[in-house]
Structure 1
């Protein structure tokens, strides 16, 4: 799109004659993304595991048994022990956005009363 829209080029701070390649975008994202690439790859692979269809048909008003019984109790126990499940690789992007966009908007009064947000 940048090759066809000079306004977009100027908005991101590049000249229409000197547009960076697509790989530059991904290099920038990788530098700010705060997650180990190996862990991210494992998570992406595990997000959509292959699932077989159930072999037997269930009777009317009958449900499949839980695949992982007790999993919720395990999470509850870990939470009560103080374990943290937070994984926010985008956190640095959010901090940059808050610093360059949200804070100036709040100081200019564009967001209204920030104590009531």
Structure 2
């Protein structure tokens, strides 16, 4: 991760490769970073993130249906932590703290977020139901 997020705790993720759908990218990134192969997943939200002159769109999925063995990768050392306690972890990434409640609430509707950040952190955000 880049400043100010490097060294923070967050979930696996990454960028879409040429020709991939967001769903395919999620499945690949999870397997590369954790060793788990997702069998099914659900789109929970989309975030439009603006930081200076850079803009990105993030697609957020959830899954409880996977197989494989947890393993380390060049991205870091993955670990399990109860979702309900994850927001209180030391060093938790601010994007995770902002988005996780909406992603983890299986009864919540699909969301769309707009997030403005700079080198100091998250400046502003808004959510709407998609």
TM-score of the superposed pair, with normalisation by structure 2? 0.18
More helix by share: 1
Taking structure 1 as the reference length, the TM-score comes to: 0.19
| Larger-gyration structure (1/2) | 1
